[in-house]
């Protein structure tokens, strides 16, 4: 089985697991959050250990920081849960389309590199991420007008454009943050738990920063 086939199969399985976690009930969602956070902690800890092999104090500080961050992530992700969980779906879609836009536009246009931290990323790809991050608004607008289901209404407003663009920025910065650690550790992936993708942190490096940011935005502005 080639790498592309592995990526496709793994992606389908991930979407299936995510759908069950989100739409079954909040306790399954909470269990999934805890399990995911455990994997993320292990993968990030492995990166830190590879970078600062003999610096136990630095490693301990990063362990404390990552643990606190993941506890906040679990709390915020659980607080954002609703039935149906369209707010969370909207946030996750922003990240998915942001990553997709960066990959598609970056490969089609290419051009000047965005940063040395992640050599594969380009300025055109970054712009593509911003443009694609607006697609969830279009999707929810269409679903609301087609079904008249009020659960789609809140996320179908054009007033959310600034929010989408800002969350896209956070998503890209989160990606670069983890890329910096991978570059320092001289590894391509954070792990191998996802066939064809690498580590779980490789796939949701932007999401874990976007969710807390979205929570703060909702608390402050909405």
> What is the domain partition of the chain in residue ranges?
3-221
- Give pTM, 2 decimals: 0.92
Listed in sequence order, the residues at least 6 apart from 22 whose beta carbon sits closer than 8 Å to its beta carbon are: 29, 85, 88, 89
Task: Give SS3 for 120.
Answer: coil
9 has a pLDDT exceeding 90: no
Model confidence pLDDT, tens digit, residues 39-65: 999 999 999 999 998 899 999 999 999
């Amino acid at each position: 089985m080639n790498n592309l086939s592995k990526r496709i199969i793994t992606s389908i399985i991930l979407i299936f697991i995510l759908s069950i976690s989100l739409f079954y009930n909040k306790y399954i969602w909470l269990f999934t959050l805890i399990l995911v956070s455990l994997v993320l902690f292990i993968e990030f800890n492995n990166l830190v250990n590879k970078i600062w092999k003999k610096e136990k104090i630095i490693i301990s500080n990063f362990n404390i920081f990552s643990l606190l961050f993941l506890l906040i992530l679990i709390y915020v992700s659980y607080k954002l849960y609703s039935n149906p969980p369209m707010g969370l779906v909207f946030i996750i879609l922003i990240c998915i389309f942001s990553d997709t836009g960066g990959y598609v536009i970056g490969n089609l246009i290419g051009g000047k590199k965005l940063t040395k931290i992640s050599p594969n990323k380009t300025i055109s790809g970054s712009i593509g991420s911003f443009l694609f991050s607006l697609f969830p608004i279009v999707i929810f607008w269409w679903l609301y007008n087609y079904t008249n289901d009020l659960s789609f209404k809140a996320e179908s407003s054009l007033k959310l454009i600034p929010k989408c663009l800002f969350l896209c920025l956070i998503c890209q910065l989160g990606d670069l943050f983890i890329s910096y650690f991978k570059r320092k550790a001289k590894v391509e992936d954070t792990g191998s738990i996802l066939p064809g993708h690498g580590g779980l942190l490789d796939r949701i490096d932007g999401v874990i920063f976007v969710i807390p940011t979205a929570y703060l935005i909702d608390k402050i502005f909405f």
